Amino acid sequence: MKNNLKIERRIKNLTQEDLAKMIGVSRQTINSIETGRYVPSTILALKISAVFEKSVNEIFSLEVSD
């Protein structure tokens, strides 16, 4: 699964830690999602979606390997 987190974060000028605090997870969790080390739960994706005011589908997308 791919994601635009880094880009969306830059648009809103948020650090990984800022975003983490906004949605109530650890900074490492954001980092791990961004670097593709793991796939977030749908609740997390929805919270991220709310922060960036974009749909989950606009932020996350399936790859062939999924």
31 counts as binding DNA under rule CB under 7 A = yes
Using the Cα atoms of residue 25, residue 12, residue 38 and residue 17 in order, give the sign of their dihedral: negative
Decide which of DNA, a copy of itself, none touches 51; Cβ closer than 5 to 8 Å per partner kind: none
Task: Name the DSSP class of 54.
Answer: S
Decide which of a copy of itself, DNA, none touches 50; Cβ closer than 5 to 8 Å per partner kind: a copy of itself
CA torsion 45-51-56-60 (nearest 10°) is -80
30 counts as binding a copy of itself under rule CB under 8 A = no
Interface with a copy of itself (CB under 8 A): 1, 39-47, 49-50, 55-57, 60-62, 66
